[in-house]
Structure 1
């Protein structure tokens, strides 16, 4: 990413029929959202938005080198870190995420709830690809999930 540049950056994404908006602080992404109208202070010139635009055009992109600031409880952070490892074009279930996350058990209702809460509170959808979880909630709006899955042929 562009050094330590901080701010809100947004760009129209015609395929999504929305904007993609990214919040950056200290060289880390702190938020990703899909507003119909971007923040009035948002700028459109950011390398990450270029990459997201390419992804939306069908270029395979992992975003695994993008630093994301996760200000969520430790157990949720662990789930989101595992989720980032699910490759482009592949998906997982809530149970699989629980099995893959150290200290969680897919037979434990509390652990499955932890996975679902992590997905729902994901601060950076797309970069942390909750659209790749086929049976869980996510922070990505449902109509956007469908389009992201279509891009990745999920």
Structure 2
């Protein structure tokens, strides 16, 4: 399903930002051909950023506690190595309000050995380099790093009761 089917603007390319009073910063994302390329939480948005994108309605319903959205139907253009892609695809399967640990995520990921320190480091690296935190909810992995700023990660965890 593409962003258009998920309530977004299919085919729109650009940078979009809107201020979140809950996060005390902006939610900013970039899109190309209807797919999200990145999500960030700057204190000041990109000068080129537009405020109008349908995906914001879902994001702000989530942040305002109106909707328990997992964003699993939003297409994300993952331009990361294959091993990291598998890890991040696993993160997208963690339901709203649930949390797991790095070892469990490793067990869920094909080709990853949950007993191998190098593989566990690969999982942590994938979480740390996650291009789209919130849409790829790394805040649901309790003992792993998040690509979101610590204050944002904590607010997302709090929002979901984690």
Q: Please report the TM-score for the alignment, with normalisation by the length of structure 2.
A: 0.94
In the alignment, what sits opposite 1:18?
A: 25
Question: Residue 8 of structure 1: SS of its match in structure 2?
Answer: strand
How big is each residue's C-alpha offset from its partner over 1:1-35, in whole Å with a ceiling of 9 and x where there is no partner?
Answer: 21100100000000100000010011100000000
In 2, the alpha carbon distance for the partners of 1:47 and 1:132 equals 25
Question: Equivalent of 2:55, from 48, 52, 58?
Answer: 48
Q: 2:155 aligns with which of 140, 147, 153?
A: 147
1:118 equivalent in structure 2: 126
Structure 1 stretches of 4+ moved >3 Å:
none
| Corresponding pairs, count | 154
Structure 2 unaligned regions, length at least 5: 1-7
SS in 2 for 1:15: coil
Query: CA–CA distance in 2 between the matches of 1:93 and 1:3?
Result: 34
Residues 1-154 of structure 1 aligned to structure 2 (within 5 Å): 1-58=8-65, 59-154=67-162
Higher helix share: 1
1:43 & 1:90 partners in 2: Cα distance?
33
Coordinate RMSD, CA, aligned: 0.6
| Structure 1 partner of 2:5 | none
- The Cα shift of 1:49 comes to 1.1
Distance in 1 separating the partners of 2:27 and 2:56: 8
Scaled by the length of structure 1, the TM-score of the pair is: 0.99
